Amino acid sequence: MSRPAPWETTVFHRPVSMRPRTAAVAVLGLLLALTAGTSSATPGARPGSAPATSVDTAPGGTTPLAGYAIRSTAEVADSPAAVSSPGYPTAGWYPAGPRSTVLAALLAAGKYADPFYSANQQKIPAADFAVPWWYRSDFSLTDTASRTYLDFSGVISAADVYVNGKQIADKGTVTGAYTQHELDVTELVKPGTNTVAFRIQPNDPKKNLTMGWIDWLQPPPDENMGIVRDVLVRRGGPVALRDAHVVTALAVPSLSSADLTVKARARNDSAAPVTATVAGTVGDVSFSQDVTLAAHETKQITFTPATHTQLRLKAPRVWWPAGMGAQPLYDLALTASVSARTSDTAHESFGIRDVKAPLNAAGARQYAINGRPLLVKGGGWSPDEYLRWDRAYVEDRLRYALDLGLNTIRLEGHIEPDEFFELADRYGMLTLPGWECCDKWEGQVNGDESGDPWTPADYPVAKASMAAEAARLRDHPSVISFLIGSDFAPDRTIEKMYVDALNAADWATPVVAAASDNSAPISGSSGMKMTGPYDWVPPSYWYNKQEGGATGFNSETSAGPDIPTLDTLRRMLSPAELDTLWKSPSAKQYHRSPSPTFATLKLYDDALTGRYGAPTGLDDYVRKAQLAQYENVRAQFEAYGRNAKDATNPATGVVYWMFNSGWTSLHWQLTDRYLDQGGAYFGAKKANEPLHIQYSYDNRAVTVVNGRPAAASGLTARVSLFSLDGARKYDRTVTGVSVGGGGASTTALTVPASVSGLSTTYLAKLVLTDGSGQEVSRNVYWLSTKPDTLDYAHTDWFHTPTTSYADLKGLASMPRAEVRTTGATTTGADGTSTTTVTVRSAGSGPAPALLTDVHLVDAKGAPVLPVRWSDNQVSLWPGESATLTATYRTADLHGSAPRLRVSGWNTPTVTVPGN
C-alpha cells in the first residue's frame, strides 16, 4: 500500500560435479539461465530427528518434504558438511512444518506467549534472528535408478543449500522469495536416507526482494525468515518435462469455440542423444509427437490447433467469476516416454476464459470477463503474519469474501501458495496479484519512501521472480492481471525486464504498470488511482467525485479503522489497553500500525464523538463503532455500485483496504483475525447484495442496483422517513420499477430536500419487493439534517479532513425496543449445521429495534466461528420480523448446544437457546 530464458522460469542446475562452486559463477549461472532462452502456538518438546520423508519413486513423482528440524547457527558449532549428513543428531532442535518461518516454528513449540495478545510480540528478541538458521530434513529413496531433483521457491531471504554433506548452491544463487530453483542431485543421493540442509539468511525487506509488511501490522521480529513454500523431491527419467501450460483463445462474444495451444519443454538430462514421445490429453482430446534431443539439449514442444485440429474445441466449458456463471476447469496431462517407458509426467489445471481491461474514455481500467464488463469489487488480502499456511482458514476467508458479494482479491506482495489460487479458481474469486510497495521491490523508484536502490545483483533476481510467478499463475483463470508496480510504476529498465519475462511465459492477461495513477513506457497508463483515503472520512465522501470518491478504479481505499467486536477485543487487548482504547484517542495503539501516520485512533475517535457523542464506556464505544463502520463501509460499496454505469467517468473498480488482517488489528479489515463479523462486515454484505435498494448521500436518490446477470422488472420501491420516536414523517411508494442486469441501476425516486417534522437525527427505511410482494431488499439508514462538511482543499495522501460532523447524537435517546428471538437447528451429513433464527420486534411503542445483531455462541458464550449468515444486523419496526440462517461447522460447537446472543442499538442483550 501507499506510499529465465524466454522459455525458462526455473533456475536449473546441472549435477553438482559439473558446477564450479564460487559465488561469482553461481550468479553468472543465474544470469545465463535468465538470458538463455492459522494455528495457535502450543507448547511442545524439542524432539530429535523426525522420520525421513518417503519419496514417490514413480517417474514424474513429486514429494514435498514433510518438515524440518531448525536451529540458530549461533547454537551449532558443527560444520555444514556434518549438519547436512544423514544421521546427524538434532536433539535440542525445534521442529518446523514443511512451510514455516523460524518464528512460526518457535511459536508452535511454545517458546513465546501468544503474539496476537497485547504487546507480547515486542518481548520476542529480534537479535535471535539476526544470524542464519539451519533448516534440516531427511528423505528416503528406495533406488537411484531415476534422476532426482530438489525443486523449490519461497526461501526468505536466501540460503546456502547442502545435500549429504556437499554444498549444491549458495546464497548468491538461492535468493529472493519468489525465485524458482531446480537442483539436480542425482549424483549425490543414495538408496536409503538422504539429507538436505538450508542455511537460511536473515531477511530485511528493504534490502531483499522478499516480503515485508509495510504499514499493515507490527512486523514479526524474524521478518519471516524461513521456507514458506514446499520443497519438492522430484523423480524422473532421462527426459524431463518442464513448463507445461495451455494458452487459450476463446471466441468472444459468441463463446462458441476455443483454441488451445499446449506447450512444454523437453529436456534431455542424460549424456547421450535420445528420442522421446511426448503425449498428452485435455479431457477426451489426445495428441502426441516425437522429439529427438542431443545430450543435455532442451527443446520447446508445441501442440497447436493448426497441427492438431482436435485442440479447437467446440462449445467449450467457459469459466466465469462467481455470480456470473459456473467455474469448470480442464486438466492437462503430459507424458514423456523413452523406449516405451515413462520418463516424466506433467499435470496442469486451467480454465477457459477471456480477460480484457482497456482504458475507458475517462482513462480508467475497465475489466471485462468473456466480453461482459464488471465492476471490480475487491478487498486487499493479508496472509497470516507468520506466513503459516492453513488451507481451511484460507478457504473460510474466501467464502467470507463471496458472502460479502466481493468478486476480487488483491494481493500486494505476499503472493500465496498454489492452493490459494486453486481455491480461487474453484470458488470463482478473481485475483489481482502484484509486487508490493515501500521496500526493495520499489527501491529504485520509491521517491522519498523507504527502500534501498537496486544493485546489479537485484535485476536478475527480480526477473527470475517475475518469470517464476508468471509460469505459476498463468493457467489459473482466477488471475486477471499482474501489477508490476504498486505506489510507483517501474522505470524503463525494470519494466522491460518484467514484461519480457511475462511475454516469455505466454502471460495472456493485462499487465498493469501500477496500482496508482502512473504509467510506464511499455504498459502505458495504469488506469488505476491510489488517492486513498486510508483513514476516517464520512459516508458522504464516497459519493463526491473527488479524490477517492466513486469514479474510476480505486485500487486500495477505506475509511481506515475497523474496530472489531467486543469478543475479539477481549482476546487481543489487556484490561489496561481496553481502557485506553475508549478513553484516550491520542494514545498510540500497538494493534493499529507501526506507521506514525496511523499510530493512533484520533481521527476516527474524534469523528465517533462528534457524530454519535462521547463514549460512556467500552461497551458504548464498541457499539458506536459498529454502527459507524456499518454506515461507512456500506456507503463506500454503494457509491461505487451506483456509479458503475455513469455516462461520464464511471466507477470501474474498488478494492477495500483491506479485506482482512494478518493479526489482531484495529484497522483495515472487513473481518477480524478470528473471523468474527461486525458492522464493517455486514455493511459490505448489505451494499453488495445481488438486487439492492439504496439511498444516495449526495442527491437523496433512492436507487435500485442489479448485480444479477438478468434484468428485473415489476419491482416496488417504498421509502419511509421516521423521527427517532418512531413517528413516520414521509412515505412514498413507486411501482413498476425495472432495472437492467449486469450492474445496471435505476433511480426509483428522490427524497425531498426538506421534510416537515423530522428530528435532527432521523431514520430512513427502504424496502424493495418483487411482483409477488416478496421483500427482496431492505435497507435502513440513520441520517441527519446537519451534513458532514469536508475540506477538500486540505486533502492529504491518507484522508480529507471533516470540518463539521453530521449530528447523529439523537440515536442515544431512542426509546428502548424489545426483540423476541427463537431458533431451530438442523445438522447435515456434511459436518455442518444450520440454525434458523426468527427475530421479531415486539415492543409496545412505535420505535424500531435498530441494528439487531445475532451472534451464534457456544455454552460458554464464545462465538462460533466461522459462520455465514443469510443476513444480520437488521432493523425492525414493531410487529416486523426477519428470518435469518447461520451455517457453520458442527464441530465448532465443541459438543455444546447452539445459543443465540441477541443485541442491538436500543435493545438489551439476551441469550436464548438456538435449538
Active-site position among 8, 487, 506, 631: 487
Burial class (CB within 10 angstroms; exposed 0-12, middle 13-18, buried 19+) of 834: middle
Q: What is the DSSP letter of 469?
A: H
Q: Which three cell numbers stand for residue 388?
A: 503459516
Q: State the SS3 of 729-764.
A: EEEEEEEEEEECCCCEEEEEEECCCCCCCCCCEEEE
Give every CB contact of residue 145 below 8 A, 6+ residues apart in sequence.
none
Question: For residue 75, which phi and psi values (nearest 5 degrees)?
Answer: -110, 5
Q: What angle do CA 44, 47, 52 make, to 5 degrees?
A: 125
Nearest-10 crossing angle of helices 458-473, 23-35: 50
Grid coordinates of 461: 533476481
Q: Which of 182, 556, 567, 892 is catalytic?
A: 556
CA distances from 83 to 45, 90, 186 (A): 21, 9, 20
- Residue 312, Cβ neighbours under 10 Å: how many? 16
Which candidate, 169, 218, 188, places its Cα nearest to that of 29? 169
- The Cβ-side half-sphere exposure at 768, using a 13 Å CA radius, reads 28
Using CA of residue 632, residue 638, residue 642, residue 648, what is the dihedral sign? positive
d(CA 805, CA 803): 7
Active site includes 556? yes
| Residues 41, 43: Cα–Cα separation, whole Å | 7
Go through the chain and tell me how many residues it has.
915
User: 376-380 and 651-656: which strand pairing?
Assistant: parallel
Is 449 a known active-site residue?
no
CA distances for 609 relative to 533, 562, 588, 594, angstroms: 20, 16, 18, 25
- Looking at residue 734, its amino acid is V
> Are 678 and 626 spatial neighbours (Cβ–Cβ below 8 Å)?
yes
Q: Which grid coordinates are listed for 577?
A: 489497553
Question: Would you state the cell numbers that stand for residue 105, as one nine-digit string?
Answer: 516454528
Q: Which amino acid is at 599?
A: A
Burial 840-869 (b: 16+ CB within 10 A, else e): bbbbeeebbbbbbbbbbbbeeeebbbbbbb
> What is the C-alpha radius of gyration for the chain, rounded to an integer number of angstroms?
29
Helices 492-504 and 458-473, packing angle to 10 deg: 40
Residues 465, 503: contact at Cβ < 8 Å? no
- 3 state DSSP class of 446: coil
Which three three-digit cell numbers place residue 369?
470477463
User: What is the Cα–Cα distance from 483 to 528, expressed in whole angstroms?
Assistant: 11
Which of 643, 472, 654 shows the shortest CA–CA distance to 548? Answer: 654
How many angstroms separate the first and last alpha carbons of the chain? Answer: 45
CB 69 within 8 A of CB 93: yes
Q: What is the largest CA-CA distance in the chain?
A: 94
C-alpha cell at 499: 514484461
Residues sharing a CB contact under 8 Å with residue 83, sequence separation 6 or more, in sequence order: 76, 134, 136, 162, 197
CA gap 385, 218 in Å, rounded: 9
548/529 Cα distance (integer angstroms): 8
Distance CA 633, CA 667 (A): 13
Q: Mind telling me the catalytic residues?
A: 487, 556
